[in-house]
């Protein structure tokens, strides 16, 4: 069997996760890793992995079936995804929800022009959660939808803490409010504000001489990040930070409670939940499945950008559809 040759662009948490995930999938092989940094400073996890500077990527175009883009959503992917879709089939995990339609348009334009296929926003949220929202809202047109995240690390909120003057290390955990979760699971269709669904818990170590009260006030009053939530801040040492806050767990669930019956007398709960020890490793496994799907779509001449809502689920699998029909239906 000819293996699907995967390139990795960007070698951070997701880049390393994709590298590990390829080894779990016998139909895939790692072709090369590309980075904006000096390739000699990276230490790949697999023996003999080839690492190049991103400027060399086009020289390796014919060795790569799908390039998995592992850059950050805030600054990297909005330029990297359309640029690489001009030369490669690509997959990304773009997660800035408000900008996904705009991102789709620019990647779609590049991919259609170059006759390539691209899957965008292929993670868990957006991603698997989105697919489940679609199933739940289609099946239960009368009802209410909820998404709870955590307990888990929010990279965006942790980054915001680290930008505050005087902060040495920082991490933010998003925690769902148990009483709100219970109410939703009862199917009572409650209406909640952001503050009533989640709390935010911050662990921060300070640089020598930093003003703790000033840092605290800056955190709890930060608009868009913390001011709309009940936020607790724990000041700890660098040593405690390294010892207890280096993992990246996450998870959450999407839920819809809906009604059927002549008088809407029957209530139904649809729930999809995830509990993840490592957010980046799980997300990387999703990216790898969508790389396989992109390769299949491309092989059928289906070019342009697609989202998880448009890609047939069977395309994610290594197994042929006949086997899936026999075993999963
Ligand atoms: P990282 O910060 O670890 O990596 C992002 C990029 O930064 C890398 O591609 C790399 O590019 C560069 N980089 C990494 N480490 C270093 C370093 N030590 N020094 C300098 N540059 C470095 O981000 P993640 O891999 O954790 O996450 C990437 C994105 O994935 C997030 O921004 C998030 O938006 C998205 N995501 C989406 C999810 C979803 O459900 N849709 C879930 C989880 C994440 P280079 O090698 O070129 O320097």
Domain boundary among 259, 278, 297: 278
Q: Are 268 and 136 within one domain?
A: yes
For 224-255, the pLDDT digits (tens) are: 899 999 999 999 999 999 999 988 899 999 99
Counted domains in the chain: 2
Q: Looking at the CA of residue 96, tell me the nearest atom of ligand 1.
A: 34
Q: Are 190 and 86 within one domain?
A: no
Is 83 among the annotated ligand-binding positions? no
Note the pLDDT of residue 285: 98
Is 174 among the annotated ligand-binding positions? yes
Tell me which H or E stretch contains 305: strand 304-306
Q: Are 144 and 121 within one domain?
A: no
Note the pLDDT of residue 258: 95
Distance 72 CA to ligand 1 centre (A): 4
Query: 103, 147, 98: which is closest to 124 by C-alpha?
Result: 147
Q: Are 97 and 211 within one domain?
A: no
Q: Are 23 and 92 within one domain?
A: yes
Note the pLDDT of residue 155: 79
Whichever domain contains 39, its CATH number is: 3.40.50.720
In the block, residue with structure tokens 């209410």: 144
Q: Are 316 and 256 within one domain?
A: no
Query: 182, 197, 183: which is closest to 149 by C-alpha?
Result: 197
Note the pLDDT of residue 195: 95
Q: Are 179 and 55 within one domain?
A: no
Residue nearest (by alpha carbon) to ligand 1 atom 13: 12
Calculate the alpha carbon distances from 183 to 28, 92, 132, 177 in Å.
44, 35, 20, 10
Q: Are 227 and 271 within one domain?
A: yes
**Residues with pLDDT less than 70, the chain:** none
Whichever domain contains 158, its CATH number is: 3.30.360.10
Note the pLDDT of residue 224: 82
Beta-bridged to residue 66, according to DSSP, are 6, 89
Domain that holds residue 303: 4-125+280-328
Domain boundary among 243, 259, 278: 278
In the block, residue with structure tokens 């790389």: 291
Cα torsion angle, 292, 296, 299, 301, sign: negative
Q: Are 189 and 250 within one domain?
A: yes
Residue nearest (by alpha carbon) to ligand 1 atom 26: 13
Q: Are 135 and 251 within one domain?
A: yes
Q: Are 196 and 315 within one domain?
A: no
Q: Are 84 and 15 within one domain?
A: yes
Distance 320 CA to ligand 1 centre (A): 33
């Amino acid at each position: 069997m000819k293996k699907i040759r995967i390139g990795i662009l960007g070698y951070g948490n997701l880049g390393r996760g994709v590298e590990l995930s390829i080894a779990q999938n016998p139909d895939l092989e790692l072709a090369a890793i590309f980075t904006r940094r000096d390739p000699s400073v990276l230490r790949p996890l697999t023996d003999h992995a080839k690492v190049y500077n991103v400027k060399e990527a086009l020289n390796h175009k014919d060795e790569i079936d799908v390039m998995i883009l592992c850059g950050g959503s805030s600054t990297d992917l909005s330029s990297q995804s359309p640029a690489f879709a001009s030369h490669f089939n690509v997959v990304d995990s773009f997660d800035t929800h408000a900008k996904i339609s705009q991102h789709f348009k620019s990647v779609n334009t590049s991919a259609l022009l170059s006759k390539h296929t691209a899957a965008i926003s292929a993670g868990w949220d957006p991603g698997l959660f989105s697919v489940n929202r679609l199933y739940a809202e289609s099946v239960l047109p009368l009802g209410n939808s909820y998404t709870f995240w955590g307990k888990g690390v929010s990279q965006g909120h942790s980054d915001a803490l680290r930008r505050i003057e005087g902060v040495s290390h920082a991490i933010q955990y998003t925690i769902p409010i148990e009483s709100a979760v219970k109410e939703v699971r009862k199917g009572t269709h409650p209406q909640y504000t952001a503050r009533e669904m989640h709390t935010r818990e911050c662990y921060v170590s300070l640089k020598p001489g930093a003003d703790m009260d000033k840092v605290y006030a800056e955190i709890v009053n930060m608009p868009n990040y913390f001011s709309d939530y009940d936020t607790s801040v724990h000041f700890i040492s660098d040593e405690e930070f390294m010892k207890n806050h280096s993992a990246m767990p996450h998870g959450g669930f999407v839920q819809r409670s809906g009604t059927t019956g002549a008088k809407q007398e029957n209530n139904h709960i649809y729930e999809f939940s995830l509990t993840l020890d490592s957010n980046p490793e799980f997300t990387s496994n999703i990216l790898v499945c969508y790389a396989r799907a992109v390769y299949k779509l491309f092989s059928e001449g289906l070019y342009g950008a697609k989202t998880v809502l448009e890609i047939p689920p069977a395309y994610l699998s290594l197994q042929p559809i006949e086997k899936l029909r026999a075993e999963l239906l």
